[in-house]
């Protein structure tokens, strides 16, 4: 089975559930988006969160996908940067216990934290203090990091450091890896679309986007047309449609260009959509690496996504993971 390594912001999620969205309005956080914050703003968010009994779990978009792959037994790797603090220890220990081969550079800046506000409808909104994660520099990216792996999974949030992202993509491509990106957040795609287009057309083989990100990138509200446009720029495009499922299309650089598959979402009660897309990507890539057809890849992604949205954060029970592994075996 092909091996996957992820690279991204090594973050710890601090999550709270809200009865309504008034706190988002107060804190000026766009619902469903990701806003990068500084230390002063982080303290403000923390003050408000303390009253709502916060919960902690490992996070970061790529980190969540690698977490899912590890629980499926895929033996993935992860590259990131953490601080010399208890939060960083929590991140490293969690991944280590799951058998993830980590390359976590240490620095004096505090470990990054994603403050996650969960609305009553399950939608999540992030106020992210990148901390140590933002200290990763191009000079730290070497071909040796990718040795032994076939696929590199990147989170779209790394576009905030264009020079770093360019070095990662160029180095991984030269090392012969297949490159895969999740676009990350619709508001980031809106703000940095030229950079996304450059990365997709120059480097990416596989592109994941949710419906809002797809619209922001392609300029069309028709997800079928958006999927077609993204597929014209890569080898495989995947668009996630929330409760309506997901669809995928082989792209222009594939001999199967134009072939499309769809799969429905699991019908479950949504508690928290945090990591839904990340776990979907983990399930999809797991099946893809096992040689499954496109529809089966979508179904496996939907299975993982359907399970994780029934819990707060990403901590699922061993029993749940055992069920999942049984269903996809």
Percentage of the chain beyond pLDDT 70 is 100
Q: Which tokens belong to 22?
A: 């008034």
pTM: 0.92
- Please determine, for residue 271, whether its predicted confidence score (pLDDT) is greater than 90: no
Q: Is 47 within the bounds of a domain?
A: no
Average pLDDT score over residue span 63-70: 97
Residues 6+ apart with CB under 8 A from 149: 3, 4, 5, 77, 177
Average pLDDT score over residue span 260-286: 94
- Quote the radius of gyration of the chain (alpha carbons, Å): 18
* Residue 247 and residue 239 in contact, taking contact as beta carbons nearer than 8 Å: yes
Residue 274: predicted pLDDT: 83
Q: Is 51 within the bounds of a domain?
A: no
Q: Is 54 within the bounds of a domain?
A: no
Residue 260: predicted pLDDT: 98
Q: Is 167 within the bounds of a domain?
A: yes
Mean residue pLDDT of the chain comes to: 95
pLDDT tens for each residue of 143-167: 999 999 999 999 998 998 999 999 9
Q: Is 126 within the bounds of a domain?
A: no
Q: Which tokens belong to 309?
A: 């949205």
Kindly report the CATH number assigned to the domain that includes residue 96. 3.40.1190.20
- Please determine, for residue 142, whether its predicted confidence score (pLDDT) is greater than 90: yes
* Residue 12 and residue 114 in contact, taking contact as beta carbons nearer than 8 Å: yes
Q: Is 251 within the bounds of a domain?
A: yes
Q: Is 200 within the bounds of a domain?
A: yes
- Of 131, 173, 193, 152, the closest CA to residue 65 belongs to 152
Residue 79: predicted pLDDT: 98
CA dihedral of residues 56, 57, 62, 67 (deg, nearest 10): 180
Where are the extended beta strands (E) located within the chain? Answer: 4-7, 11-17, 34-36, 55-59, 77-83, 101-107, 112-118, 124-129, 151-155, 178-182, 206-210, 236-240, 246-250, 260-263
pLDDT tens for each residue of 191-214: 999 999 999 999 999 999 999 999
- Of 116, 97, 12, the closest CA to residue 63 belongs to 12
Average pLDDT score over residue span 158-183: 96
Task: Classify the C-alpha dihedral 235-59-118-263 as positive or negative.
Answer: positive
pLDDT tens for each residue of 130-139: 999 999 999 9
Query: How far is the CA of 239 from the CAs of 11, 34, 69, 224, 229, in angstroms?
Result: 25, 19, 20, 9, 11
Range of the domain at 285: 4-10+60-111+131-328
pLDDT band at 55 (very low <50, low <70, confident <90, very high): confident
pLDDT band at 312 (very low <50, low <70, confident <90, very high): confident
Q: Is 120 within the bounds of a domain?
A: no
Residue 315: predicted pLDDT: 84
Total count of domains within the chain = 1
- Please determine, for residue 28, whether its predicted confidence score (pLDDT) is greater than 90: yes
């Amino acid at each position: 089975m092909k091996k996957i390594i992820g690279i991204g912001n090594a973050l710890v999620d601090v999550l709270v559930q809200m009865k309504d969205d008034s706190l988002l309005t107060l804190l000026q956080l766009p619902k469903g988006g990701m806003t990068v914050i500084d230390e002063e703003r982080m303290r403000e968010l923390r003050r408000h969160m303390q009253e709502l009994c916060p919960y902690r779990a490992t996070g970061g978009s790529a980190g969540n996908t690698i977490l899912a792959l590890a629980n499926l037994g895929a033996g993935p790797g992860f590259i990131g940067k953490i601080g010399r603090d208890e939060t960083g220890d929590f991140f490293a220990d969690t991944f280590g216990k799951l058998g993830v081969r980590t390359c976590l550079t240490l620095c004096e800046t505090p470990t990054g934290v994603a403050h996650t506000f969960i609305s009553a409808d399950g939608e999540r909104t992030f106020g992210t203090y990148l901390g140590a994660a933002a200290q990763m520099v191009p000079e730290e990216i070497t071909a040796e990091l990718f040795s032994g792996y076939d696929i590199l999974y990147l989170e779209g949030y790394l576009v905030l450091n264009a020079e770093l992202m360019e070095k990662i993509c160029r180095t991984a491509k030269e090392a012969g890896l297949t490159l895969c990106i999740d676009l990350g957040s619709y508001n980031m795609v809106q703000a940095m679309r030229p950079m996304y287009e450059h990365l997709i057309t120059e480097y990416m083989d596989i592109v994941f986007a949710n419906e809002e990100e797809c619209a922001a990138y392609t300029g069309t509200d028709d997800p079928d047309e958006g999927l077609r446009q993204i597929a014209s720029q890569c080898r495989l495009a995947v668009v996630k449609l929330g409760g309506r499922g997901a669809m995928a299309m082989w792209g222009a650089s594939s001999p199967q260009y134009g072939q499309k598959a769809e799969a429905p979402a699991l019908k479950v009660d949504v508690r928290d959509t945090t990591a839904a897309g990340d776990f979907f990507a983990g399930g999809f890539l797991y099946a893809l690496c096992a040689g499954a057809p496109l529809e089966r890849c979508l179904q496996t992604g939907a299975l993982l996504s359907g399970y994780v949205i029934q819990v707060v954060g990403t901590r699922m029970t061993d029993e749940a993971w055992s069920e999942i592994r049984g269903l996809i075996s």
